[in-house]
């Protein structure tokens, strides 16, 4: 037992000596030397309020009072760092051996201000023009150390970028860092609130020493906020800031993501990320502030897209260039989700009045080439699509290169302008389209069967579908080949003078139809409809109120008695009422009015003819009497009046000659 007792006594002596040595350290003097040295190296003022005292429990080390570090002289913030206290634990045995092994480091409620000046200077960079003697290669720089556990509680970090006009704040920061080996891996965990939004971050750094130097090292990051999560697995460095690796992002909680960036939550339509946004791909970030995505998989609600993209962050707005391909895309929300079918189109109460938010168009500039197997726009359904999007300062131009739709094709340009409100316009050519499915999707109208060509130029202004339809202006033309109009037998109406030839089983077959039209303030006007059919021709004119969804049209069909177009009867047909329930009425009053007008014109023409005949007879009688009684004979091209004047002149001249002869004979 003797050797045991001796060992215990020896150990007690060592503990006593260590404690005695610790309390004999002149801490105030050491603190003053440390602050002076810090001021000289950094050019900043380090102040420690209160005493610096040693601690034995729970760790062997020292505790400071409140500390502050002054900010750069160009900053309006007086302090770069402040903390209520610091606890530092040291492995004395390792320190006596020449190694720095920090067993614990704890900062209590620190506040850190990081700033970038308008000229690019950064307040966390010391030495040179920033003040102090700090320089690469200085004594003590890069000295290896280990850190069992570093903790920060109740911290606040404020980042101010004066050049970009940005300000980010993070509060309630609780973090810990473990560095078992200086040249080995390190782990960090952090929770905080940024711009009022909670977030958590977990990181694994493959080489801590290289990371401190700013070199790109292996890194794994997982950031979560609300229901959103972003992970990175690759290499990253901060001098310069650059990264390359695999990114997986689930951005379902867009409100949280937007809040972290200091932005309002974007009001994304359904199909554009209203419910969920998922992204996976290989990402590269360069020191020139560019981001590059390759092999990207982007999910927007139920839409899946393959993306290769390049994003430049410098400039007035981010600039995106991308190649996008997809299968079937559902963007039906852009038209309020109301096309044709059971609840939309003509069967709906009216156009959607919900405000359309296009503020997201101003978030960046972009050039995007899109190819898709099909696109559902709600009021239109497109087949294989190839288009190019150019987005500049909130104005999006869709260049429709090749689009298959309704058994035909669509080409032209479509514009959505979000600068100072919303306006849409376009110049479209639709060729050989099947009209029944097209009109069913556009307005729930399925009665017209046939193929046709449509040219349309249009412009509309408003912040809802309803406002756009009421302001619509433009012009266009339509030409149809052989087809069928269901629910209406025009020939039967004419033959029987009965407007009841409407409804299921009724139809009008035609060989061709054409019309041109103009649109002003949501009202379509046409005056040259032409329709040709077996034993039937028709002309039409009238208006279609697109905003109010009303019809006011007059069709003038003629039922022919023979195929060669001879004979027949014409009775105007009035089409009025709503799109959903149009009314058909034979215009018998119009027939009577037209007949009265025709008879009046006929009587007027007959009266003019009879008056002309009476005038001709009177003139002939006058000419006869002038010839027989007065001896006036008209010469070629001479009027009766001219002949009378000539005859009078001749008579006067003859009489004058006779008078002169008598006078001379008398002398």
The yes-or-no verdict on residue 13 having pLDDT over 50 is no
Report the alpha-carbon distance of residue 91 to residue 482 in Å, rounded: 95
Helix, strand, coil abundance in the chain, percent, nearest 5: 25, 45, 30
Helix 640-666 vs helix 588-630: angle between axes, to the nearest 10 degrees? 20
Structure tokens at 383: 């087949």
Examine residue 384 and say whether the peptide bond preceding it is cis (omega within 30 degrees of 0). no
Within a domain: 490: yes
Question: Is 485 inside a domain boundary?
Answer: yes
Specify the range with the lowest mean pLDDT, choosing from 110-119, 470-479, 600-609: 600-609
Highest mean pLDDT among 396-400, 612-616, 663-667: 396-400
Distance (Å, whole) CA 351 – CA 467: 9
Q: Is the dihedral of CA 478, 483, 485, 490 positive or negative?
A: positive
Q: Is residue 517 part of a domain?
A: yes
Q: Which helix (H) or strand (E) holds 10?
A: helix 2-24
Domain that holds residue 393: 374-587
How confident is the prediction for the chain on average, in pLDDT? 79
DSSP count for the chain of H helices, then E strands: 10, 35
* Residue 468 domain-assigned (yes or no): yes
Determine the distance from the C-alpha atom of residue 44 to the mean position of all C-alpha atoms in its chain, rounded to a whole number.
Answer: 49
Q: How far apart are CA 37 and CA 152, in angstroms?
A: 25
| Integer Cα distance of 202 and 237 in angstroms | 17
- pLDDT, mean of residues 637-656: 67
Give the SS3 label for residue 471: helix
What is residue 19's predicted lDDT score, i.e. its pLDDT?
41
pLDDT for residue 185 is more than 80: yes
Beta-strand runs (E) in 206-318: 217-225, 228-238, 241-250, 277-285, 290-300, 303-312
Question: Which residues sit opposite 386 in a β-bridge?
Answer: 371, 402
pLDDT value, residue 11: 35
Distance CA 345, CA 576 (A): 18
How much is the pLDDT for 12? 37
Alpha carbon distance 306, 139 (integer Å): 52
Is 423 inside a domain boundary? yes
* Total Cβ atoms within 10 A of residue 31: 19
pLDDT digits (tens, 9 = 90+) for 57-96: 555 667 778 888 888 888 888 898 898 888 777 666 655 5
pTM of the model: 0.68
d(Cα 478, Cα 470) in Å, to the nearest integer?
A: 22
More confident residue, 105 or 295: 295
Residue 264's pLDDT band, with cuts at 50, 70 and 90, is confident
Instruction: Please say whether the beta carbons of 415 and 424 come within 8 A.
Output: yes
Assess contact for 535 and 563: CB atoms under 8 A.
yes
> What digits encode the pLDDT tens for the residues 504-562?
777 888 889 999 999 999 999 999 999 888 878 889 999 999 998 899 999 888 876 55
Looking at the 3D structure of the chain, how many domains does it have? 1
Q: Is residue 161 part of a domain?
A: no
Percent of the chain with pLDDT over 70: 72
More confidently predicted of 90 and 224 = 224
Residue 351, pLDDT score: 82
Cα–Cα separations (whole angstroms), residue 390 to 209, 284, 369, 375, 610: 45, 24, 9, 18, 72
> Residues 6 or more apart from 363 whose CB is under 8 A from it?
266, 317, 318
Q: Looking at residue 635, what DSSP letter applies?
A: P
Closest to 146 in 3D by CA, of 212, 241, 222? 212
- Which tens digits make up the pLDDT trace of 618-645? 666 666 665 655 566 666 666 666 766 6
User: Cα dihedral angle (132, 136, 140, 142), rounded to 10 degrees?
Assistant: 130
Per-residue pLDDT band at 22 (split at 50, 70, 90): very low
Instruction: Indicate the range of 88-92, 206-210, 270-274, 384-388 predicted with least confidence.
Output: 88-92
Q: Which of 223-227, 297-301, 314-318, 635-639 has the lowest mean pLDDT?
A: 635-639
Neighbours of 650 (CB within 10 A): 11
Whether residue 39 is contained in a domain is answered as no
- Residue 61: inside a domain: no
CA nearest neighbour of 150 among 176, 172, 186, 188: 176
CA pair distance 130, 466, nearest whole angstrom: 60
φ/ψ of residue 126, rounded to 5: -115, 160
């Amino acid at each position: 037992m003797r050797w045991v007792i001796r060992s215990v006594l020896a150990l007690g002596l060592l503990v006593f000596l260590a404690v005695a040595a610790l309390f004999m350290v002149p801490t105030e003097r050491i603190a003053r030397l440390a602050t002076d040295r810090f001021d000289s190296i950094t050019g900043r003022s380090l102040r420690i309020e209160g005493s610096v005292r040693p601690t034995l429990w729970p760790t062997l080390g020292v505790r400071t009072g409140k500390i502050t570090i002054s900010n750069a002289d160009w900053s309006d913030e007086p302090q770069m760092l402040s903390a209520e206290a610091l606890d530092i634990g040291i492995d004395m045995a390792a320190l006596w051996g020449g190694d720095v092994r920090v067993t614990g480091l704890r900062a209590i409620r620190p506040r850190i201000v990081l700033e970038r000046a308008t000229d690019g200077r950064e307040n966390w960079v010391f030495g040179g023009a920033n003040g102090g003697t700090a320089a690469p290669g200085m004594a003590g720089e890069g000295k290896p150390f280990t850190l069992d556990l570093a903790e920060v509680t109740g911290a606040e970090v404020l980042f101010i970028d004066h050049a970009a006009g940005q300000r980010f704040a993070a509060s309630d920061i609780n973090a810990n860092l473990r560095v078992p080996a200086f040249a080995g891996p390190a782990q960090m965990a952090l929770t905080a609130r940024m711009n009022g939004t909670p977030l958590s971050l977990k990181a694994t750094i493959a080489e801590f020493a290289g990371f401190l130097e700013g070199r790109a090292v292996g890194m794994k990051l997982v950031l979560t906020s609300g229901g959103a999560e972003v992970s990175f697995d690759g290499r990253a460095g901060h001098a310069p800031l650059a990264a390359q690796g695999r990114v997986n992002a689930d951005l379902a909680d867009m409100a949280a993501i937007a809040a972290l960036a200091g932005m309002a939550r974007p009001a994304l339509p359904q199909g554009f990320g209203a419910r969920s946004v998922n992204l996976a791909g290989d990402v590269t970030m360069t020191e020139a502030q560019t981001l590059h995505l390759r092999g990207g998989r982007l999910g927007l609600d139920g839409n899946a897209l393959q993306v290769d993209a390049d994003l430049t962050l410098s400039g007035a707005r981010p600039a995106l260039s991308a190649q996008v391909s997809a299968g079937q895309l559902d963007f039906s929300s852009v038209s309020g989700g109301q096309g044709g079918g059971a609840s939309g189109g003509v069967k709906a109460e009216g156009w959607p009045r919900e405000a359309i938010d296009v503020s997201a168009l101003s978030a960046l500039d972009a050039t995007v080439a899109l190819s898709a197997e099909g696109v559902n726009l709600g009021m239109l359904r497109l087949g294989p699509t190839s288009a190019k999007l150019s987005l500049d300062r909130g104005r999006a131009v869709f260049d429709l290169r090749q689009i298959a739709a309704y058994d035909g094709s669509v080409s032209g340009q479509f514009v959505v302008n979000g600068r100072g409100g919303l306006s849409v316009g376009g110049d479209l050519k639709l060729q050989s389209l099947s009209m029944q499915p097209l009109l069913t999707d556009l307005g729930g109208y399925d009665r017209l069967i046939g193929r046709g060509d449509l040219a349309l130029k249009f412009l509309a202004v408003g912040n809802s579908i309803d406002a756009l339809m009421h302001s619509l202006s433009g012009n266009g033309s339509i030409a149809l080949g052989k087809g069928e109009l269901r629910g209406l037998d025009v020939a039967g109406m004419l033959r029987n003078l009965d407007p009841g030839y409407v409804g299921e089983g009724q139809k009008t077959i035609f060989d061709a139809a054409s019309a041109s039209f103009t649109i002003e303030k949501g009202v379509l006007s046409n005056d040259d409809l032409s329709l040709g059919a077996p034993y039937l021709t028709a002309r039409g004119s009238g208006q279609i109120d697109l905003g109010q969804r009303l019809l006011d049209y007059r069709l003038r069909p003629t039922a022919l008695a023979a195929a060669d177009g001879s004979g027949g009867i014409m009775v105007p047909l009035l089409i009025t009422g709503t799109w959903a329930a149009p009314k058909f009425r034979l215009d018998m009053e119009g027939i009577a009015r037209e007949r009265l007008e025709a008879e009046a014109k006929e009587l007027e023409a007959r009266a003019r003819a009879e008056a002309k005949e009476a005038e001709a007879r009177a003139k002939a009688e006058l000419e006869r009497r002038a010839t027989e009684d007065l001896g006036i004979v008209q010469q070629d091209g001479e009027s009766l009046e001219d002949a009378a004047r000539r005859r009078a002149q001749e008579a006067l001249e003859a009489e004058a000659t006779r008078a002169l002869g008598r006078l001379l004979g008398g002398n």
